[in-house]
Structure 1
Amino acid sequence: MTLISFVVPAYRVQGYLRECLDSILGQPFGDVEVIGVDDASPDDSGEILAEYADRDPRVHPVRLTENIGLGPARNVGLDRAAGDYVWFVDGDDWLVPGCLPHVADRLRDTRPDVLIVDHVRAHWNNVGTRSAMRDVFPVPPGAATFALPERPETLRLLHTAWNRLVRREFLVERGFRFAPGWYEDVSFSYPALMAAERIGVLDRICLHYRQRRTGAITRTRGDRHFEVFAQWHRVFALIDAWGMDGLRPAIFERMIWHYLTVLGNGDRIAPELRAAFFAQMHADHLQFRPPAGYPVPPGVEGLKHRLVAAGRWRTFSALRGAHQTGETARRTVGRARRRLVPVVRRARNGALREYYRAETHRPIDPTLAVYAAYWYRGYSCNPAAVYEAARRLAPQVRGVWIVRRDRVAALPAGVEYVVAGTREYYRVLARARWLVNNVNFPDFVRKRPGSMHVQTHHGTPVKVMGLDQQRYPVGAMGMNFAGLLRRVDRWDYSVTSNSFSTQMWERAYPADYTTLEVGYPRNDRLARATAEECRRVRAALGLGEDEYVVLYAPTHREHLPGWRPPFDPDRLLDVLGPSGRLLMRSHYFHDRERLPRGPAAGGVLDVSGHDRIEDLYLAADVFVTDYSSAMFDYAVLDRPIVVYAPDWDTYRVARGVYFDLLAEPPGAVATDFPALLDLFRSGAVRAGTAERARAAFRARFCALDDGQAAERVVRRVFLDEPA
Structure 2
Amino acid sequence: MPRFSVIIPCFKVQGFLRECLDSVLDQSYRDIEVVAVDDCSPDGCGAILDEYAARDERVRVLHLEENVGLGRARNAGLPHATGDYLLFLDSDDTLTPGALRAMADRLAETSDPDVLVFDYARTYWWGGTRRNVLAHVLAQAPAGDGDGAPGDGDGASDGDGDGTFTAAGHPEILDLLMVVWNKAYRRDFVEREGFTFPPGYYEDTPWTFPVMFSAGRIATLDRVCLNYRQRRQGNILSTTSRKHFDVHAQYERVFAFLDTRPHLARWRPFLHAKMGEHCLDILSKPDRLPPSDKAEFFRRTAEMFRAYRPPGAEIPAGLRVLDGGALGYPAYRLRRQSGRAGRELGRRARQAQGAVGGRLGRVRTAVSSRRPLDPGLAVYSAFSHRGVLGDPAAIHRKALEIAPHLRGVWVVRDEEYAADTAALPPGTEHVILGSAAWRRVTERATFFVNNVNWPGTVAKRPGSVHIHTHQGTPLKYMGVDLLGRPGARHGLDVPQMLRRADRWDHSLVASRYAERVWERAYPCHFTSARTGSPRNDVLVHAGPEDGRRVRERLGVPDGHTVVLYAPTRRDYRRGGHVDRIDLARLAADLGDGHTLVVRLHPSLATGPARGMGLSELHRRGVLVDATGEPHVEDLMLASDLLITDYSALTFDYVLLDRPIVIHADDWAAYAASRGAYFDITADAPGHVSHSYRELAWLLASGAWRDEEAARLRSAFRARFCEYDDGRAAERVVRTLMLGEAMAGPDLRGVPGARAVPAGRDALTSQ
| Partner of residue 272 from structure 1, selected from 280, 289, 292 | 292
Partner Cα distance (2:34, 2:619) in 1: 56
Q: Note the C-alpha offset of 1:336.
A: 6.8
Aligned residue number for residue 385 of structure 2: 376
Aligned partner of 1:419: which letter? I
| Partner of residue 196 from structure 1, selected from 211, 215, 224 | 215
Deviates more, 1:17-26 or 1:33-42: 17-26
Q: Note the C-alpha offset of 1:371.
A: 1.1
1:275-294 → structure 2 map (5 Å cutoff): 275-293=295-313
Cα 1:613–1:238 shift into 2, 3 Å: same
Q: Does the alignment pair 1:704 with 2:723?
A: yes
Secondary structure at 2:380's aligned position in 1? Answer: strand
After superposition, the C-alpha distances for 1:671-697 in whole angstroms (9 at most, x for unaligned) are 333333333234442344433322221
Q: 2:662·2:689 contact (CA, 8 Å) conserved in 1? A: yes
| Partner of residue 654 from structure 2, selected from 620, 628, 635 | 635
After superposition, the C-alpha distances for 1:511-559 in whole angstroms (9 at most, x for unaligned) are 2223221000000000010122222222222224532222121222334
Partner Cα distance (1:100, 1:403) in 2: 55
Q: Does the alignment pair 1:579 with 2:598?
A: no
| Partner of residue 531 from structure 1, selected from 538, 544, 548 | 544
Aligned residue number for residue 534 of structure 2: 521
Secondary structure at 2:233's aligned position in 1? Answer: coil
Q: Does the alignment pair 1:414 with 2:427?
A: yes
Q: 2:138·2:220 contact (CA, 8 Å) conserved in 1? A: no
Partner Cα distance (1:330, 1:140) in 2: 43
Partner Cα distance (1:336, 1:461) in 2: 44
Partner Cα distance (1:107, 1:660) in 2: 38
Secondary structure at 1:225's aligned position in 2? Answer: helix
Matched residues, percent identical? 44
Secondary structure at 1:474's aligned position in 2? Answer: coil
Partner Cα distance (2:549, 2:251) in 1: 73
Partner Cα distance (1:128, 1:444) in 2: 32
Q: Note the C-alpha offset of 1:286.
A: 2.1
Partner Cα distance (1:557, 1:135) in 2: 45
Q: 1:542·1:599 contact (CA, 8 Å) conserved in 2? A: no
Q: Note the C-alpha offset of 1:628.
A: 1.9
Partner Cα distance (1:672, 1:381) in 2: 32
Deviates more, 1:606-615 or 1:357-366: 357-366
1:268-667 → structure 2 map (5 Å cutoff): 268-293=288-313, 296=316, 302-303=317-318, 305-311=319-325, 312-331=328-347, 362-404=371-413, 405-407=415-417, 408-409=419-420, 410=422, 411-562=424-575, 563-564=577-578, 566-593=580-607, 601-667=620-686
Aligned partner of 2:407: which letter? R
Q: 1:355·1:426 contact (CA, 8 Å) conserved in 2? A: no
Partner Cα distance (2:381, 2:635) in 1: 22
Partner Cα distance (1:2, 1:667) in 2: 41
Partner Cα distance (1:27, 1:294) in 2: 48
After superposition, the C-alpha distances for 1:167-217 in whole angstroms (9 at most, x for unaligned) are 222222222211222211111111112222221211112222222233322
Partner Cα distance (1:96, 1:574) in 2: 52
Aligned residue number for residue 36 of structure 1: 36
Q: Note the C-alpha offset of 1:335.
A: 6.6
Q: Note the C-alpha offset of 1:606.
A: 1.1
Cα 1:237–1:379 shift into 2, 3 Å: same
Secondary structure at 2:595's aligned position in 1? Answer: strand
Q: 2:501·2:524 contact (CA, 8 Å) conserved in 1? A: yes
Aligned partner of 1:222: which letter? S
Cα 1:366–1:626 shift into 2, 3 Å: same
Partner Cα distance (1:63, 1:108) in 2: 34
Partner Cα distance (2:352, 2:18) in 1: 41
Q: Does the alignment pair 1:165 with 2:166?
A: no
Deviates more, 1:670-679 or 1:267-276: 670-679
After superposition, the C-alpha distances for 1:2-36 in whole angstroms (9 at most, x for unaligned) are 22221111111122212211222233333222221
Partner Cα distance (1:598, 1:717) in 2: 46
Aligned residue number for residue 136 of structure 1: 137
Partner Cα distance (2:669, 2:630) in 1: 31
Cα 1:706–1:106 shift into 2, 3 Å: same
Deviates more, 1:391-400 or 1:574-583: 574-583
Q: Note the C-alpha offset of 1:380.
A: 0.8
Q: Note the C-alpha offset of 1:707.
A: 0.8
Cα 1:353–1:74 shift into 2, 3 Å: closer
Q: Note the C-alpha offset of 1:709.
A: 0.3
Cα 1:477–1:177 shift into 2, 3 Å: same
Partner Cα distance (2:265, 2:523) in 1: 45
Q: Note the C-alpha offset of 1:655.
A: 1.7
Secondary structure at 1:374's aligned position in 2? Answer: coil
Q: Note the C-alpha offset of 1:136.
A: 3.1
Partner Cα distance (1:473, 1:589) in 2: 19
Secondary structure at 1:239's aligned position in 2? Answer: helix
Secondary structure at 2:447's aligned position in 1? Answer: strand
Cα 1:58–1:643 shift into 2, 3 Å: farther
Secondary structure at 1:150's aligned position in 2? Answer: coil
Q: Note the C-alpha offset of 1:324.
A: 4.3
Cα 1:350–1:157 shift into 2, 3 Å: closer
Q: Note the C-alpha offset of 1:499.
A: 1.7
Q: Note the C-alpha offset of 1:307.
A: 0.7
Aligned partner of 1:314: which letter? P
Partner Cα distance (1:681, 1:333) in 2: 73
Partner Cα distance (2:636, 2:349) in 1: 53
Q: 1:597·1:605 contact (CA, 8 Å) conserved in 2? A: no
Q: Note the C-alpha offset of 1:47.
A: 1.3
Cα 1:171–1:564 shift into 2, 3 Å: same
Aligned residue number for residue 154 of structure 2: none
Deviates more, 1:104-113 or 1:377-386: 104-113
Aligned partner of 1:524: which letter? D
After superposition, the C-alpha distances for 1:570-604 in whole angstroms (9 at most, x for unaligned) are 33234433223221111111231368789674542
Cα 1:30–1:580 shift into 2, 3 Å: farther
Uncovered stretches (5+) of structure 2, i.e. residues with no partner: 144-161, 742-759, 761-766
Secondary structure at 1:586's aligned position in 2? Answer: coil
Q: Note the C-alpha offset of 1:354.
A: 9.0
Partner Cα distance (1:85, 1:333) in 2: 57
Aligned partner of 1:523: which letter? N
Task: Give the TM-score taking structure 2 as reference length.
Answer: 0.87
Q: Note the C-alpha offset of 1:713.
A: 0.5
Aligned partner of 2:383: which letter? Y
Partner Cα distance (2:351, 2:28) in 1: 47
Cα 1:699–1:422 shift into 2, 3 Å: same
Q: How many residues align?
A: 710
Aligned residue number for residue 299 of structure 1: none
Q: 1:635·1:641 contact (CA, 8 Å) conserved in 2? A: yes
Secondary structure at 1:592's aligned position in 2? Answer: coil
Q: 2:119·2:138 contact (CA, 8 Å) conserved in 1? A: no
Partner Cα distance (2:181, 2:434) in 1: 52
Cα 1:360–1:567 shift into 2, 3 Å: farther
Q: 1:140·1:203 contact (CA, 8 Å) conserved in 2? A: no
Uncovered stretches (5+) of structure 1, i.e. residues with no partner: 297-301
Cα 1:105–1:695 shift into 2, 3 Å: farther
Aligned residue number for residue 100 of structure 2: 100
Cα 1:20–1:589 shift into 2, 3 Å: same
